[in-house]
Amino acid sequence: MERVIAHSDLNCYYASVEMLRNPRLRDVPMAVCGSRAERHGIVLTANYIAKRRGVKTGMANWEACRVCPGLYTVPPRYSDYLQFSAFVREIYSEYSDRIEAFGIDESWIDLTGCVSSFAQGEKAVHEIRGRVKRELGLTVSIGLSDNKVFAKLGSDMKKPDACTVIPKEKFREIVWPLPVGDLLYVGRATEVKLRSRYIDTIGGLAKTDPDNLKRWFGKVGLVLYAFANGEDRTQVAACGVEPPVKSVGNSHTCPRDLACDQDVKIMIYALSDSVGARLMEYGLKATTVEFSYVNTDLTAHAVRQAKLESPTDISSEIAAAAFKLFKRHYSHWPSPLRKIGVRGCGLVSADLPKQLSLWEDAAQAASKEELERTVNRLRERYGNKIIQRAIMYLDTDLSGVDAKRDHLIHPLGVFRSGAIQI
| pLDDT bucket at 150, cuts 50 / 70 / 90 | very high
* Whether the predicted pLDDT of 125 surpasses 70: yes
Which of the residues are catalytic? 106
- Average pLDDT of 252-260? 88
1-172 fold: Alpha-Beta Plaits (3.30.70)
> DSSP labels for 188-222?
HHHHHHHHHTT--BHHHHHTS-HHHHHHHHTHHHH
Residues contacting residue 254 through CB under 8 Å, at least 6 positions apart: 39, 263, 267, 337, 338, 339, 340, 398, 401
pLDDT for residue 253: 83
CA distances 282 to 6, 174, 237, 246, 343, Å, are 31, 43, 20, 11, 14
- Secondary structure class of 411 (helix, strand, coil): coil
- CATH of 176-234, picked from 1.10.10.60, 1.10.10.10, 1.10.150.20, 1.10.3720.10, is 1.10.150.20
CB 139 within 8 A of CB 20: no
> Half-sphere exposure (CA, 13 Å, Cβ side) for 121?
25
CB 173 within 8 A of CB 196: no
Q: Is the pTM of this model over 0.85?
A: no
pLDDT for residue 410: 39
Residues contacting residue 90 through CB under 8 Å, at least 6 positions apart: none
- Over its C-alpha atoms, the chain yields an Rg (Å, rounded) of 24
- Measure the CA–CA gap between 12 and 104, rounded to whole angstroms: 12
Label residue 260 exposed, middle or buried (CB < 10 Å: 0-12, 13-18, 19+): exposed
* pLDDT digit string, tens, across residues 57-116: 888 888 999 999 999 999 998 889 989 999 999 999 999 999 998 888 999 999 999 999
* Whether the predicted pLDDT of 383 surpasses 70: yes
Please give the mean pLDDT across all residues of the chain: 89
CA distances 279 to 42, 350, 367, 402, 406, Å, are 29, 9, 18, 16, 16
- CATH of 247-417, picked from 3.30.565.10, 3.30.1490.100, 1.20.1090.10, 3.40.50.720, is 3.30.1490.100
pLDDT for residue 411: 40
Cis peptide before 179 (omega within 30 of 0): no
- Measure the CA–CA gap between 83 and 335, rounded to whole angstroms: 42
* Per-domain residue ranges of the chain: 1-172, 176-234, 247-417
* pLDDT digit string, tens, across residues 324-348: 999 999 988 999 999 999 999 999 9
CB 392 within 8 A of CB 270: yes
- Average pLDDT of 184-210? 94
Angle, helices 13-21 vs 78-93, to 10°: value is: 100
Q: Which of 274, 289, 287, 272 is nearest to 325 (CA)?
A: 289
Q: Biggest alpha carbon distance in the chain?
A: 70
